[in-house]
Structure 1
Amino acid sequence: MNFSPFVKQMFVATAPQLAAVSMGGSLGYPCVLIQQFQSNDTSIKTDLDTLTWIASMHGVAGIGATLMPTLMQWKGRKCTFIGSTLLLLMGWLLAFVAQDTFTVLLSAIFHGLSSNCITIVNLVTISEMLAPRYRSASMVLLNINQTIGQFIVAALGSIFNWQIVALIMCGPAIVALLLSSLWPESPSWLACKGKYEDSEKAFVWLRGSDDDANKELKAMLAAQKESRIKVSKKTKLQETWSEMRRRDFYLPSLYMFVILLNFYISGALPLFIYSKDILEMATGAPEIATFGYLAMVSTLFIGSLISLILIRYFKTKTVLSCCVGCILSLFICSLVSYLQSSGIVSADSYLFLYPFLGYMVFSNSGFNPITFALPIDLMPVKHRGMGGALFNVLTCLLYVVTVKPFLYVVGSLGLTVTFFLFASSCLFCTIIIWIYVPETKNRTLQEIEDYYNYGSFDKFRHSDDVEVKLPIVKGDVVD
């Protein structure tokens, strides 16, 4: 049966989306572990330091995923996706059989390593294998599915033991593995490796052979041929240094840093992971903290639905401006906490709960999804080895720096100062992003790359600049 290019692209995208659900569950899993361990619903005994290590292990273990972009450039997208998903599955299985804190931490290590690997592989795969008109929405959908995974784990954790939750979350990862075995390889990666005929076959299988697809294919092959012609006899160190000095590497790298810093410095992860503790500090009522946590998890769905609508009708940076709502919510949280500490508002008031929930809605209404999709979109294909490594290092370091010391920082500075610092830092980064970061929606990967070199999307490379002698393949089979 001959399926349309749209159906084939959605088939390829399904495996990353399922992996994103399972991976999102691993991000929310520490919340379940912390709550059940603190409530003594398990035979495993822990202290505060162990709990903070469980919460932050995703960032610590994720440093190992720095090699993933190099592996992706060496072995391709399909192979590395399968390997990353197997690591994720191993993490869930270890959690299921865990009987002590060591095995729990080992499970968290596998989750941290695999999550950071999958994040990079998913974004790169979607970016390279889907048409521009589907790419932005699909990349945002990855983060929405992560959010859905977090919701599923939180809901299951309120009903089942943490080990049963781990067993259930193996399901999406197993299906993703089965689907990915039927993929073609990324056309962009094949072209980058000089496998032009295979690249054409994979591209046509995925995208068809209409005029727009042919034009994009010719431009991609022309750019890769030209790049290979210019290869010099430099040492690996010299090549690395030369690559770092290129305008189309260091500019998107700077943009990547500011975009990721903006998200992490807003407190998105610690405020989610330690949400129940924060609400208990702010309201003084454990039962309201539990209700607030469940309500917060429910807001993840609201934010996800809003994200789909926003990314459909608005530009990427416009959607990212949802962080303005996060900033306002953080400032209001800080103000309410100050009023409570000053005695103007009752210490057991529930007022803090409302801006806190508002922050979660805004965070998932474009801010979270765009934060992880945009940096990969901005990085040219030829630099995604080093660029992906940088992405992983930044996400891991920022994760650990914001999550591990959070409870100690709140204990020292209080909620008022902590939330004020989050809001102020996020405001500064947002201004920088709005002024300098280019818009990528509906731009081809080659147009984005040429933007850095020519300074404008209006002066992008035409497919006739370098002759493409290979014919456009009309076949429908991928080798």
Structure 2
Amino acid sequence: MRVTPFVKQCFAVSSVVLNMMSYGLVAGFNASLFSELRRTREIPLDIHSESWLASLIGLTLFGGSVISSLVMEAIGRRPAILASSVFMICGWILLSLASSFPVLLTAKICHGISFGLGTIGTILIAEYSSPRHRGSFIATSPTAILFGILIAHSLGMFYSWHGLSRILLFFSLPGLIAAIFSPESPSFLVTKGRYDECRKVFRWLRGTDENDELETMIKTHMVLKANKQRQRIKVLTLIKNKATCIVTAFKKREVRIPIIISMHLMAINQFCGSTVNDMYALDVHTALYGTNVYMFKVMTSLDVLRLTAALSAVYITKKLGRRSMLLIFVSLNIFVNLCLAGHIFARQRDLLPASHMVIGVILHHFQCFIMGTGSIPLIFVIAGEIFPLEYRGLCWMVSSIFSSTFMFVNIKSAPYLFSLFGVDGTLCFYALILAYSLVVTRIYLPETKDKTLQEVEDEIRGFALLSHEEAFELKSDKADGED
């Protein structure tokens, strides 16, 4: 039986998606870890040590992201995914043996580095995929994360955190196996001038129906490479400073605009409410319901809903444009955050009827549905489509810096915000961040649905109305003018 290109793309994409599931396992594991340690005091934690343990992933994610950006440009996208799998497995081994706070920290460092190395996953999926499947494939990444969270929360009802870490170790092995047998990205191969190998891998993944995209990608790189060679001597002679070259890159529209977009997308991803719900589930559930007795049952229900929502996002991304989805779902996210804040405020002052828990459950589930359908998957989809090929590593590194910074600030500050303003005040603060980020992103974001990565890059650069031949000539003329 002939294996179709779509099946081959599914296999290649699975190397990323299975690793994304492992990241969900880590996020879901935190609820079991922190709630059980608070109860048993097996390893004593105060508000400072707990916040560091939870937020350390943001700092180590930054380190892993920098490494992944260097790796993806120097030796390939696939090695970064392989290294991510290895660090993930090492983290689970350390957690299964942990009996002290330093060992817990070391395990969290391994998981954070794994997260950072895996941040290029959306780029790799975008480079593997056909334009008509790209949005749906990228949308499977947050679906996999949510599935991992569901697994961790479901098993957390039956196992201690030590036993759970041993079980979750085996769920992380398939990602390593899939990465071993997956091909390298055609886009990476073309950046290294390995055009014959690029054609072979591209046609293995896509068949022969998309040769125009392949040849356009190769021809564009040849033009950029020739321009770069003409400029190199002058740049090295006059500047002799790599930092200045980076500054020059940031002055280019095709670099500057995607970074502005990704920075605000990462803010939406971190402050939509998902991170706090997973990291500080005990505080959120106590504020919403007045008790944490039903925490794991409610969390499992929420995870099922988020997973269903994420699966529906795979379909929605094929039907709706990126800009429309961004406006609809982030606006709804802002609305439900404010509703949850109002509910908590009213419950704490006995302004609600006796059945107030039902109201909280409905609002909580609605929030998770909105995040799972739009706010979270859409971030992955857009971030995988907007970076230019020549500076993809640099752009992703900068984007990852913002992501890790926002994650660290969010997780580290949450306990202190809870104590100062309450969970309701914190949700209102998050709603303001979402509103600001939505406005900026809508201003700069072009529509990327059903376009090749080269077409998106040309549109951001300002060549959208030109033919490919005219675009090549304009790029060459522009480079000659800079010389």
Contact 2:140 2:311 in 1 (8 A): no
Contact 2:257 2:460 in 1 (8 A): yes
Match of 1:297 in 2: 303
Alpha-carbon shift at residue 172 of structure 1 (Å): 3.9
Which residue, 319, 332, 335 being the options, matches 1:328?
335
Alpha-carbon shift at residue 250 of structure 1 (Å): 0.4
Contact 1:32 1:154 in 2 (8 A): yes
Cα distance in 2 between the residues matched to 1:287 and 1:274: 15
Cα distance in 2 between the residues matched to 1:75 and 1:357: 43
Contact 1:338 1:416 in 2 (8 A): yes
**More deviation, 441-450/171-180:** 171-180
**More deviation, 61-70/309-318:** 309-318
**More deviation, 339-348/364-373:** 339-348
**More deviation, 426-435/378-387:** 426-435
Cα distance in 1 between the residues matched to 2:136 and 2:166: 30
Counterpart residue type for residue 7 of structure 1 = V
| Within-5 A mapping of 1:129-208 | 129-208=128-207
Cα distance in 2 between the residues matched to 1:186 and 1:206: 10
Cα distance in 1 between the residues matched to 2:212 and 2:297: 54
Contact 1:263 1:426 in 2 (8 A): no
Contact 1:277 1:289 in 2 (8 A): no
| Within-5 A mapping of 1:76-475 | 76-120=76-120, 122-210=121-209, 213-231=210-228, 232-233=231-232, 234-235=235-236, 236-320=242-326, 321-345=328-352, 349-350=356-357, 351-454=359-462, 456=464, 458-459=465-466, 461-462=468-469, 465=472
How many residues align structurally?
461
Write the deviation string for residues 189-213 of structure 1: whole angstroms up to 9, x where unpaired: 1111111111111111211112xx1
Cα distance in 2 between the residues matched to 1:403 and 1:285: 22
Write the deviation string for residues 295-345 of structure 1: whole angstroms up to 9, x where unpaired: 333322232233223123222233333122211111111222333355433
Cα distance in 1 between the residues matched to 2:368 and 2:183: 38
Alpha-carbon shift at residue 43 of structure 1 (Å): 3.1
Write the deviation string for residues 51-76 of structure 1: whole angstroms up to 9, x where unpaired: 22222121021121222111110001
Write the deviation string for residues 68-93 of structure 1: whole angstroms up to 9, x where unpaired: 11111000112221112111111111
Cα distance in 1 between the residues matched to 2:333 and 2:467: 36
Cα distance in 2 between the residues matched to 1:240 and 1:225: 21
Structure with the higher helix share, 1 or 2 = 2
Cα distance in 2 between the residues matched to 1:339 and 1:359: 18
| Within-5 A mapping of 1:20-59 | 20-40=20-40, 43-59=42-58
Contact 1:218 1:463 in 2 (8 A): no
Write the deviation string for residues 399-444 of structure 1: whole angstroms up to 9, x where unpaired: 0111111121111112332222222221232233233311212111
Counterpart residue type for residue 337 of structure 1 = I
Alpha-carbon shift at residue 348 of structure 1 (Å): 9.2
Alpha-carbon shift at residue 395 of structure 1 (Å): 0.9
Contact 2:17 2:141 in 1 (8 A): yes
Write the deviation string for residues 94-114 of structure 1: whole angstroms up to 9, x where unpaired: 111212221111111111110
**More deviation, 446-455/151-160:** 446-455
Contact 1:30 1:54 in 2 (8 A): no
Cα distance in 2 between the residues matched to 1:208 and 1:383: 27
Change in 2 beyond 3 A, CA 1:105/1:83: same
Match of 2:476 in 1: none
| TM-score normalised by L of structure 1 | 0.91
Contact 1:25 1:153 in 2 (8 A): yes
**RMSD across aligned positions (CA):** 2.2
Match of 2:75 in 1: 75
Alpha-carbon shift at residue 390 of structure 1 (Å): 0.8
Alpha-carbon shift at residue 47 of structure 1 (Å): 2.3
Cα distance in 2 between the residues matched to 1:181 and 1:343: 57
**More deviation, 353-362/169-178:** 169-178
Report the identity percentage: 22
Gaps of 5+ in 1: 467-479
Cα distance in 2 between the residues matched to 1:455 and 1:216: 16
**More deviation, 305-314/342-351:** 342-351
Counterpart residue type for residue 87 of structure 2 = L
Cα distance in 2 between the residues matched to 1:291 and 1:185: 41
Contact 2:265 2:437 in 1 (8 A): yes
Counterpart residue type for residue 442 of structure 2 = W
Write the deviation string for residues 358-402 of structure 1: whole angstroms up to 9, x where unpaired: 111111112111113312311112111111111211111000111
Alpha-carbon shift at residue 162 of structure 1 (Å): 1.6
Cα distance in 2 between the residues matched to 1:163 and 1:463: 61
Match of 1:60 in 2: 59
Change in 2 beyond 3 A, CA 1:176/1:289: closer
Counterpart residue type for residue 328 of structure 1 = F
Contact 1:136 1:441 in 2 (8 A): yes
**More deviation, 125-134/49-58:** 49-58
Contact 1:276 1:290 in 2 (8 A): no
